[in-house]
Amino acid sequence: MRTAPTILHLDMDAFFASVEQASKPSLRGKAVVVGGLGPRGVVATASYEARVFGVHSAMPMGQARRLAPNAAYLVPRFNFYRSISERVMELLRALSPLVEPLSLDEAFVDLEAGGVAWDERSARLAGVKLRADIRAVTGLTGSVGLAASKMLAKIASEEAKPDGLVVIEPGTERAMLAPMSVRTLPGVGPATGDHLRRAGITTVEEIVEAGEDELVRLLGKAHGHGLHAMALARDDRPVVAERETKSVSVEDTYDVDIHDRTRVGLEVQRLAERCVRRLRGAGLSGRTIVLKVRRYDFSTLTRSETLRGPTDDPGVIREAAARLLDSVDTTGGVRLLGVGVSGLADYTQEDLFAQAAGERAVAEGPVEEHAVAAAEEQPSLAERRWPAGHDVRHAEFGHGWVQGSGLGRVTVRFETPDSEPGRVRTFRVDDPDLEAADPLPLVLRGTEGGDEAPGTAAQAVSSVPASLPKSWSGSGGGAATSRP
C-alpha cells in the first residue's frame, strides 16, 4: 500500500444520459433513459432524475417504462459517446503515462507515475483540476476518488457521486470501510452477498471479525482469501496502462425469436462480417472462432473452432461460424446470436485453402450477399432511419433530434447544445428535406479554456438534479472529503 492517495479513479456521471442532456436543452433536468427500446431491450444508463424512480442500468426496458413512463427513452449514439470519451482519456494521459481505462466513462490513473502528485494536497489539487478540465472540454461532470489503492479509489469515486471528489487518506481506510455493506467490496455480487447475509455477515467489519478461515469455509479458498484481504483494505494491484484484449465479439438480441434456419444463417454471416470489421479496426487477428446462441428457453450455447493460425479474413471467419452453427439445434427459435474471435495476435497466418474457398463463395454466391443485405433491411424504414434521440437536419429548420417515429411519421425537436429548448415538428418518414446528421459538439471550441461566458453550454449543463446538493463537505470514518 502507498503512503499517499496518489491513485485516482474517474467515473463520469451517468455518462450516456448526461451526453444526451448536454446535446438536448429540452431534456436538461429531466428523466432520460438510454438503451435498447425493443421489447427485450435493457437500460444502458439512466440520468439521476430517472434514478429517483428506481430506474437503473441493466434493468429491462419494459420495467423502466413502468417505473418512469414520462421519461425520455433514447437509442444510444455509441460513436458520439466514444468520441467524447477519447477527449476525456486525453486529459487523463496528460496527467500520467499510467492510465487504465475500464470502459468509455471510467479509468484509473497513477498520479505518482506522472509526477503530478506525491502527497494528499497535490493529489487533491490534481483531482480538482481534472474535474474542471473535463467540464471545460466536454461540458460534462465526473466524480473523482483518490486513495492509496485501486479498490479504495473506486469506492471513493462512488461515494463522491454525483459531481464530487472524495479523498481517502492513508491510515483511515479500515475505519471508513468498517460500517459499509459487504456489497461495497469488488467481487461481492447479489449471490455472494446473500450467502454472507445468511451467515450473519452484512458489513465489512463483520467480514474482518469472521476471520479468514471462516470466509474460506463459506466461499472457497481463492474468494475467501481475497475478500478477507479487501476487508482489511489490502490491495497492491498496480495501474496497468495497456490492458490486453482477450477477444473481439459482436452479438444481437432480437425482438422476436428467429425460427427460420436460413434467416439464422444469414444473421450469423452478418455478425461475422461485423466482427471482422471490429477486428481489423483494432489491428488484430485471431485463431479461435466462437459462436454464441441463446435459444427461446434462455438456454445459451457456445461453440468454438480453433484454426491453424490467426486470421482476419472474412471468408475464413464466415465459414467457421457457419460450421459451428451446423452443430446447434435452433428449431425452437433463437433470441440472441453472437460471433467472436479469441486467441488474438497482431499478425495473420492465413489458411490459404479456407481463404480460397471463401473467395470462391463470394465469386459464386452474389445472391447470398444480397440476402444478407436484405436481412439487414428487415426493420421498417422509420426504425432504421429515425432512431429516437439521433441527430437529423432539415433543409428549412436546421439541426434537430428524433423524438419518435411511427405510422409513417417522424417527430423532430429542433435545437442544438447551445440553444434554448426548441420547437417540435412532424414530417413524413420519407420527407426529402430531412436527413440523418452528425452530432454537434457539446462545447464550442472557443470556450474550452475554462473562461466561457455565463450561459454557455459548459456552464449550463449538469448531470446533477436540482434536488441534490452541488456542494458538500464533511468527513466520515476519518476520510477527508471535499466537493469543490
Same domain, residue pair 9 and 144 = yes
257 in a known ligand binding site: no
- Which helix or strand (DSSP H or E) is residue 32 part of? strand 32-35
| Domain annotation covers residue 236 | no
Mean pLDDT of all residues belonging to the chain: 84
Give me the catalytic one of 20, 49, 100, 106.
106
| Domain annotation covers residue 238 | no
CA–CA separation, 118 and 245 (whole Å): 31
Phi, psi of 187 (to 5 degrees): 90, -5
Residues in contact with 445: Cβ distance below 8 Å, sequence separation at least 6, in sequence order: none
| Domain annotation covers residue 166 | yes
Here the CATH number for the domain that contains residue 366 is 3.30.1490.100
Same domain, residue pair 149 and 30 = yes
| Domain annotation covers residue 72 | yes
| Domain annotation covers residue 239 | no
Same domain, residue pair 345 and 258 = yes
Quick count: other Cβ atoms within 10 Å of Cβ 298? 8
CA–CA separation, 208 and 91 (whole Å): 38
Range of the domain at 193: 176-231
Residues in contact with 404: Cβ distance below 8 Å, sequence separation at least 6, in sequence order: 388, 410, 411
CA–CA separation, 252 and 36 (whole Å): 11
Same domain, residue pair 139 and 197 = no
Q: Which of residues 376, 392, 417 is at a domain's end?
A: 376
Q: Which of 135-139, 240-244, 389-393 has the lowest mean pLDDT?
A: 240-244
11 in a known ligand binding site: yes
Same domain, residue pair 255 and 352 = yes
Q: What's the domain count of the chain?
A: 4
| Domain annotation covers residue 240 | no
Quick count: other Cβ atoms within 10 Å of Cβ 2? 13
Same domain, residue pair 280 and 393 = no
Residue 449: the pLDDT is 53
Same domain, residue pair 314 and 459 = no
Here the CATH number for the domain that contains residue 189 is 1.10.150.20
Same domain, residue pair 266 and 348 = yes
Same domain, residue pair 392 and 367 = no
- Which helix or strand (DSSP H or E) is residue 134 part of? helix 120-138
Residue 464: the pLDDT is 42
Q: Which of residues 197, 231, 265 is at a domain's end?
A: 231
Q: Where are the beta strands (DSSP E) in 131-266?
A: 142-147, 165-167, 247-258
CA–CA separation, 414 and 428 (whole Å): 16
Pick from 28, 39, 23: nearest CA to 76: 23
Length of the chain: 484
pLDDT digits (tens, 9 = 90+) for 335-378: 999 999 998 886 554 443 444 444 444 343 433 333 333 333 34
Contacts from 418-423 at CB under 8 Å and sequence distance 24+? 418/444, 418/456, 418/457, 419/25, 420/25, 421/25, 421/26, 422/25, 422/26
Per the annotation, the verdict on 173 as an active-site residue is no
| Domain annotation covers residue 456 | yes
Residue 460: the pLDDT is 40
pLDDT digits (tens, 9 = 90+) for 214-265: 989 888 888 888 899 999 999 899 999 876 668 889 998 887 889 999 999 9
| Domain annotation covers residue 315 | yes
Same domain, residue pair 93 and 43 = yes
| CB-CB contact of 6 with 118 (8 Å) | yes
Same domain, residue pair 64 and 130 = yes
Quick count: other Cβ atoms within 10 Å of Cβ 382? 19
